[in-house]
Amino acid sequence: MISTVTTSTVSTITLAGSFALIGIMVLFSLLIQKELASAADNPKLKKLGRAVNFAIIPLLIVFAMVVVYQVINTLQ
């Protein structure tokens, strides 16, 4: 019974960590896309750079939450 609980707990933690990693990778790719689009001379690309902010802001909030969670777990 104990090994089953431990195995499922480790699986859940690993799954949560992989979701956090995917979110961070998406955030970095959107930040790169925003920088490239805002540096372009094309007005459509500049609009795209502004539109990407709608996806970046929630991902930054999630990133901050992941960092706080990891720091709290490290300090315990």
In the chain, what are the domain boundaries? 21-75
pLDDT of residue 76: 84
Residue range 33-69, pLDDT digits in tens? 999 988 888 889 888 888 898 989 998 998 898 889 8
Distance (Å, whole) CA 51 – CA 19: 24
Residue recorded with tokens 């992989």: 18
Mean predicted lDDT score pLDDT of the chain: 81
CB-neighbour burial class of residue 30 (10 A; exposed 0-12, middle 13-18, buried 19+): middle
Distance (Å, whole) CA 56 – CA 27: 6
pLDDT of residue 16: 63
Inform me whether the pLDDT recorded for 32 exceeds 70.
yes
